Chain A
Amino acid sequence: MIGLFLAAMRFQAQVVRREPDYLMSLVTIPLLTVAFLAIMGNAGRADLAPYAVMGAALMTIWATALFVSGELIDADRWEGTLEGVLAAPAPYQVAYLGRIATVTMISFLGLVESALIAWLVFGVTFPVPHAGLLVLTLACTAFSMVGTASIMAPLFVLARSARIFQNSLSYPFYLLGGTVVPVVLLPEWLRPVSNAIFLSWASDLLRDCLRAEEPVAAPARLGVIVGLGVLGFGIGHLLTRAVFKRVRENGSVGFA
Chain B
Amino acid sequence: MRNTARVLRYAFASAMADLRATYTWKSWGLAWLLRMLFQVTLFAFVGKLIGDPRVVEYLVIGNSVFIIADVVMLVCASTSWERMSGTLPLLVASPAAPFTVFTGRSVQWLLDGLACSTISLLVLPQFLGVQLPLGTRLAVVPLIAVIAVSVYFFGLVLGGLALRAMAARNLIGRVGSIGLMLLTGVQVPVSFWPSPLESLAQLLPLTHGLGAVRAALGNGSASDVLRGIALEIVVGIGWALVAAFTYWRLVESGRRDGTIEFGG
Contacts and interface: CB of A to CB of B under 8 A. Distances in A.
Interface of A: 20-21, 24, 27-28, 31-32, 34-36, 38-43, 45, 48, 51, 161, 164-165, 167-172, 174-175, 180-182, 185-186
Contact of B47 (A31, A39, A168): A39
Contact of B178 (A21, A31, A171, A174): A31
B187 A39 contact: yes
B45 A185 contact: yes
Given A27-B175, A28-B178, A175 B38 contact: yes
B188 A185 contact: no
B46 A170 contact: no
Given A43-B55, A167-B32, A175-B42, A21 B171 contact: yes
A8 B143 CA distance: 52
B40 to A, nearest CB: 9
21 contacts: A20-B167, A21-B167, A27-B171, A27-B175, A28-B174, A31-B182, A32-B178, A35-B43, A35-B178, A38-B192, A39-B187, A39-B188, A40-B50, A161-B27, A164-B23, A167-B31, A167-B32, A180-B45, A181-B42, A181-B46, A185-B45
Q: Which 8 A-B pairs have the closest CB atoms?
A: A168-B31, A171-B38, A168-B35, A181-B45, A42-B188, A161-B27, A171-B39, A172-B38
Contacts of B174: 24, 27-28
Nearest to A182: B49
Interface string B17-32: 0000011100110011
Contacts of B38: 171-172, 174-175
A18 to B, nearest CB: 11
A54 to B, nearest CB: 13
B238 interface: no
Given A161-B24, A171-B38, A34 B182 contact: yes
- Tell me what chain B mostly uses at the interface: helix, strand, loop, or mixed: helix
B50 A43 contact: yes
B210 interface: no
A40 B48 CA distance: 11
B24 A180 contact: no
B171 A28 contact: yes
Contact of A35 (B52, B171, B175, B181): B181
A40 B188 CA distance: 9
A185 B46 CA distance: 10
A39 B50 contact: yes
B170 interface: yes
B34 interface: yes
Given A164-B31, A180-B49, 5 more contacts: A28-B174, A43-B50, A164-B23, A167-B31, A181-B49
A38 B182 contact: yes
B175 A28 contact: yes
Nearest to B23: A164
A31 to B, nearest CB: 5
Nearest to B175: A28
B50 A165 contact: no
Interface in B202-259: none
Contacts of B187: 35, 38-39
A193 to B, nearest CB: 12
A175 B38 CA distance: 7
